[in-house]
Amino acid sequence: MPVFRAADTVSAVFTVSLKTLLLLYFLLQSAVAEPLMVAFGLSRPPYVDEQTGDGISPALFKEVANRLGWQFDMTYVSNGRMEKLLLSGNVDIAVEMPPGHLGLYYSKPFVAYHNFAIHRDNPGFTLSNIDELQGYSICAWQQASQHLGNAQQMSLKKDYFEYAVQKQQVADWVSGKCDVILIDDALLEWHLKSFSFAWGEGQLGLNRKRWGKVLLPVTNNPLWFYVGFREQKLRDDFDTVFDELVAKGEYERVRTHYINTLRTN
C-alpha cells in the first residue's frame, strides 16, 4: 500500500492552486482587455450612418465581430484620416479602405461602390474615357482622383472639388457648383431623399429627365474597399467568419436590406 506523506499532499494542493490562480489570472486579463478601436468613414448612407451607428458596412462588421466575440468601440473620421490613424496605431481596425500599405493586413474585398459620372443638365452626356472629364467642373468623393488614376491631371483643375462629407458634395452639385458629380448611385439617391427632392422636379428645379448618367469607364468599377488591420491574426479570424457569411447568403441579405430600405422609404 502506498504511503502518502504530508509534503506530497501540500505539493499537490500547491500545484492545483497555482494552476487555478494562473487560469483566473488569464481570465481576468481577458475580461479587462481594452476593446478594439474601429474606425469608419464619415456618414455616407446607406453604407455608413454615424448618427445611428448603422448602415451596410457597420452591420456587416458587427455581424462578424459578434461571432468572434470581439469587444470594440467605433469612431468616425474622414477617409484620409482613417488611414493615418491605422498606420499610427491609434486604431486597430479601419473599415472601408483601399489596400496598399506594407505592415498592414487587409481583408478580402468587403464592400463595393458603383461609381457614376452624372450630369444634371445634359441627357446626352457620354464618357468614353476619364480624360474627357477635363471639360467639366466636377464634384467628387474624397481621394477619387487617386482611385481613378488621374490625380496629377485633376490637381491642375481649379474646378475640381473633393469632399470628405458627401452630403455637401451632393448639395453643391444640385445647387450648380459643378456640372458633373462622381458618386455611387445609391449614395446619391439617399442624399437626394434626405433633401426631400421629388423624383421629377425638385425644390431647386432638379429635373431627372435632363440627367446624363454614365458608369465611370475605369477598370476598378465597382470600386471595392477592404477592412484594414494592424494584426494579422485579427485579419485572418475576420476573413474566416466573413467567408462563412458570404457562403450562407448573409452578406447579400444585409446589403439588400439597406438598399431596399432606401428604395421604399
- pLDDT per residue over 100-116, tens digit each? 888 899 999 999 999 99
Predicted TM-score (pTM) of this structure: 0.72
Indicate the pLDDT class of residue 6, thresholds 50, 70 and 90: low
Residue 10 has pLDDT above 50, yes or no: no
Q: H-helix or E-strand containing 34?
A: none
Structural domains of the chain, ranges and CATH numbers in brackets: 36-112+223-264 (3.40.190.10), 115-215 (3.40.190.10)
Distance, CA of 188 to chain centre: 16
Q: What is the mean pLDDT of residues 49-78?
A: 94
The pLDDT value given to residue 243: 97
CA distance 142 to 179: 17
What sign has the CA pseudo-torsion 186, 136, 125, 220?
negative
Grid coordinates representing 96 are 472601408
Q: Is pLDDT above 50 for 120? A: yes
How far apart (Å, rounded) are the C-alpha atoms in residues 32 and 154? Answer: 49
Q: Quick one: pLDDT at residue 5?
A: 60
Question: Is the CB of residue 150 less than 8 Å from the CB of residue 218?
Answer: no
**Gap between the Cα atoms of 197 and 137, Å rounded:** 23
Cα–Cα–Cα angle for 147, 107, 151, rounded to 5 degrees: 10
Evaluate if residue 236 carries a pLDDT over 90.
Answer: yes
Q: Picking from 38-47, 198-207, 215-224, 230-239, which range would have the lowest pLDDT averaged per residue?
A: 198-207
The residue-averaged pLDDT of 28-32 equals 48
pLDDT higher than threshold 80 for residue 248: yes
Mean pLDDT computed over 191-214: 72
For residue 76, which phi and psi values (nearest 5 degrees)?
-125, 125
pLDDT of residue 255: 86
Instruction: Place 194 in a pLDDT band, splitting at 50, 70 and 90.
Output: confident
CA–CA distance, 46 with 258 (Å, rounded to integer): 6
Rounded CA gap, 97 and 43, in Å?
Answer: 14
Task: Read off the C-alpha cell for 56.
Answer: 451596410
What mean pLDDT value characterizes the chain? 85
For β-strands 36-41 and 72-77, DSSP reports them as: parallel
- Using alpha carbons, list the distances in angstroms from residue 238 to 32, 71, 120, 244, 246: 22, 13, 41, 10, 12
Task: At 52, list the grid cell.
Answer: 445611428
